[in-house]
Amino acid sequence: MVDGAGSVEGAYEDSQGRIYSLNMINNRIQRWAHDFKGQVYDYALLQGGKEGVVLLGQLSTEIQVYTQMSVNAELIKRNGWNGSYQNIVTTSSSNSSTIVFIHSSYDAPQEVYFIDNIDQLNIAQAVTSENKLFTERNLPKGKSHRWSNPDDQMEIEGVLLYPPEQFEQKNLPLFVLIHGGLYEADLNIFRASWYRCAVMIATKGWLVLQPNYRGSPGYGDEFLRSIRFHILSKPGKDILYGVDALVRDGIADSTRLAIGGYSYGAYLTGWLITQTTRFNAALFGAGAIEHVADWGLTDIPLSSIYYFGGYPWQTSNLYQEEAAIFQLDKVRTPTHIVVPGNDIRVSSTENYILERALNEINVPTKLIVLPGEPHGLGNNPWHEKIKIREELKWLRQYGNFYMKLVKRQENDMVQNSIDNKKRKLQNEITTIDKYQLRFRFENLTDGILYEIFEYLDMYHIYKGFFNLNKRFNDLLNDSNFLIKINILPMSKSNFESYKKNIVTPNRQRINIFRLSNQFIAENIFSSPNIILRYINLEILILENIDAKYLDKIINYLIDLPKFYSLSLSIVDYIQTLDLFVQIFRLSRLKYCKIIYQRKIIQQSSSIKRNKYSRSPIQCLIINGDFPLSLLHNLLSCLPQLQHLLINSIVNSNYIEKEEFFHIQLKYLKKLSLRLYYIQFDKFEKIIKKFFRSIEILRLTTFFDEAYLNAKRWEELILSSMPNLRIFDIYHEGSIRNNDLTYHDIINQFNSSFWKDFTFYWKSAKQICSNISEMNFNSVKHLYVYGEYATQNDINYFPNVTQLTIQHYLKH
């Protein structure tokens, strides 16, 4: 016999499903699979019990097949498929045996399988095709997902179900579907019903998290029982920390969150919308919001007595502390409620109370009663369809109607114009009007407010909302959402107030920080103890910074665990390029942009390499004069480099004295260089030594007409840049070789080799007069300089899609 509702070994105590045998001769009860940590779901006898038993046991999110020869023998896990086995049945005769079972997984629907012996599990053949239609559909894909509750370091697991064709994508709208219970868990299994509705919600574009919070089976009896005395608060935190983890990892969009559950899942839903306003919509089905009447009216009162440690008059404090009803004034989440009309498990009165309370506090709500239905429905299939239909409509209306935010690059935070922000915000307001939401601004959910805040500078949010009321004060200071700080030009008093109320108390929440004043930077980063509190800082933008502060600031940044992007704009002239050595000490840096000015370049300039010189930088942008002689030293420090842009590479007289050694930059794919007075011969050398792997080359050159030699380029590309697929060259200068005309130069780039490349055409005078029949089909952008462009010139470029005309007016 399998028992999951108590214990035969002592007083009532909840445990996972177990299997016992009863000796009919001596009346002795023995437990099989004694050391199995999970839950026993089902069993069958092998050869009538002569070869022991076959068990279906749940560990984590899977139900697998186990066998045990006798009560004291070792429990053996059999080799089978991932997923979940169900309803195993065996038959046997003197010369044969048969095993039949059901199997399914996230994206494989249930079918019945048949085998002759237990060793054939992984080659079993389906004997039914009842769910063939599902296999022809584009189904959601699932995976298990783990996180921890930092309150007690308890590891929690759940199931993530991704929308079709969006497996493991980022920034998805999230629906948290909480299973009922208390003896249930979400598994690697295919389920599609009014109750197990994750598949249907995922097909509507939602990422669905199904958390196996504490109290769920499959993780040990201690995990199951740890819910006692904390029936909502502890599992509630397990769930919220799971949501936080998905948002923090960029998997879920913090502005598009919804939640729901049925039965005990609704208990938790009702509790959680009193603890946070982050959810845009909630689905509440057949749940309770308090526990005294729930104990008095349910058909299983012993459950309440066990979990609360006594009757309501014995442990009244627990009955009250774990009840949502006493905190309903905090709710801001639009809530949909479904009530079975004949429910004796959870009284419908609980749902009516919730609906009345939400109406009293002006929170959008809708109540649907399914007449004649018990707790588990089933009397009228149309009621099940109505439930799902109305809940999906609710999610469309409240859960996911806001525009998807495109993740901004770090500079987008400071470059979007006010007009553009107002226009986007007006789109949001128009969308709200579309759905006819009529409630006050302060009743908006946290998710909606954060959506609005995305279009405002944090300083303006502070000035507008911080002192409005306690709710907004808490919203700005007590949230887990990460924030972007852009210190605008302001008076000293305003800065000190902003720093005191927002920056300092929220250091751990800042992930993007932009400072445009060197004195403010010195104030903010005044000591290592302070900067180490910016534990979530990822992107730092320092503008108009004095070079003398850099060493100290960079030293402080070294120990930040998430810091990966640094943009520097140095206000004063620098003497050497040693700042690169300092920057390369940042062991987690992936992106670096440097803007600087140098005085006359000294021959002593260098980049001194040491044990810290190997940097993980993947994208490096240098906007300042950089000597070609130091390129070898620079690149030797950047083995992970993927994108390099140097806005000004300058010549130095002693470069010929240096020998460039080959450096393998196998990840470098994008290269953009602006070369000042550097001959093509020298450029060829650095291409051959450093840039064999590049796929995109964008080049600006001056004066050396060798850069217009198509044959040399063809040889260089074929020999040293075999992966090149985009070649963009801009050359400015004149042709000094009297034997060549512009016609000759252009004609070189019209060979078959150049058919796949797009090049730019720039002229200072009319040069096409001698070209009568040749068309340049590969040219897409025509750049005309001067006043000599004619209609006839355009005829030679039939595929041009972009025209630029540059002409300076004479004074």
Q: Which two tokens stand for residue 510?
A: 């800042």
Q: CB neighbours of 519 closer than 8 A, spacing ≥ 6?
A: none
Mean pLDDT across the stretch 411-419?
A: 43
Helix (H) or strand (E) holding 623: strand 619-627
459 Cα distance to chain centroid: 26
Phi, psi of 513 (to 5 degrees): -130, 120
Secondary structure letter of residue 412 according to DSSP: H
List pLDDT tens digits, range 518-556: 667 667 766 666 777 888 889 999 888 888 778 888 888
What Rg value do the Cα atoms of the chain yield, rounded?
35
* CA distance between the termini of the chain: 102
CA distances from 24 to 18, 181, 421 (A): 19, 34, 79
Helices H, strands E: what count in the chain?
25, 32
- Sequence ranges of the domains in the chain: 2-135, 141-399, 564-733, 737-811
Structure confidence at residue 154 as a pLDDT band (50, 70, 90): very high
List pLDDT tens digits, range 382-411: 999 999 999 999 998 888 643 333 333 334
Q: Which of 129, 66, 64, 117 is nearest to 91 (CA)?
A: 117
Which pLDDT value is given to residue 409?
36
Mean pLDDT across the stretch 123-150?
A: 91
Which pLDDT value is given to residue 793?
53
Which pLDDT value is given to residue 382?
93
- CA 4 – CA 739 distance, rounded (Å): 96
* Residue 87 zone, left/alpha/beta (φ > 0; ψ -120 to 50; rest): left
- CA 458 – CA 463 distance, rounded (Å): 9
Question: Looking at domain 141-399, does it have CATH number 3.40.50.1820?
Answer: yes
* Most confident residue range from 124-128, 460-464, 794-798: 124-128
Q: Which two tokens stand for residue 398?
A: 């409240």
Residues 205, 400 contacting (CB under 8 angstroms): yes
- CA 373 – CA 783 distance, rounded (Å): 75
List pLDDT tens digits, range 477-515: 766 677 888 887 777 788 888 888 888 888 888 889 888
List pLDDT tens digits, range 60-72: 999 999 999 999 9
CA triple 200-356-235, angle to 5 deg: 55
Residues 587, 561 contacting (CB under 8 angstroms): no
Mean pLDDT across the stretch 680-703?
A: 89
Residues 479, 536 contacting (CB under 8 angstroms): no
pTM of the model: 0.55
Mean pLDDT across the stretch 75-80?
A: 95
* Most confident residue range from 135-139, 301-305, 684-688: 301-305
List pLDDT tens digits, range 721-752: 999 888 888 888 766 655 555 566 767 777 77
Secondary structure letter of residue 403 according to DSSP: P
Q: Among 309-313, 688-692, 754-758, which is the least confidently predicted range? A: 754-758
Q: Which two tokens stand for residue 663?
A: 């450096």
E strand segments, 179-294:
207-212, 252-262, 281-285
- CA 203 – CA 187 distance, rounded (Å): 18
List pLDDT tens digits, range 231-272: 999 999 999 999 999 999 999 998 899 999 999 999 999 999
List pLDDT tens digits, range 342-398: 999 999 999 999 999 999 998 999 999 999 999 999 999 999 999 999 999 999 888
Which pLDDT value is given to residue 487?
82
Q: What is the mean pLDDT of the chain?
A: 82
Which pLDDT value is given to residue 315?
96
Q: CB neighbours of 504 closer than 8 A, spacing ≥ 6?
A: none
Does residue 767 have a pLDDT over 60?
no
Look at domain 564-733 and name its CATH class: alpha beta
Which pLDDT value is given to residue 734?
64
Percent of the chain with pLDDT over 70: 79
Q: Among 35-39, 437-441, 501-505, which is the least confidently predicted range? A: 437-441
Q: CB neighbours of 149 closer than 8 A, spacing ≥ 6?
A: 156, 237, 238, 241
Which pLDDT value is given to residue 8?
44
* Amino acid identity at 760: Y
164 Cα distance to chain centroid: 17
Structure confidence at residue 110 as a pLDDT band (50, 70, 90): very high
Phi, psi of 259 (to 5 degrees): -150, 155
* Most confident residue range from 134-143, 267-276, 613-622: 267-276
Phi, psi of 606 (to 5 degrees): -160, 165
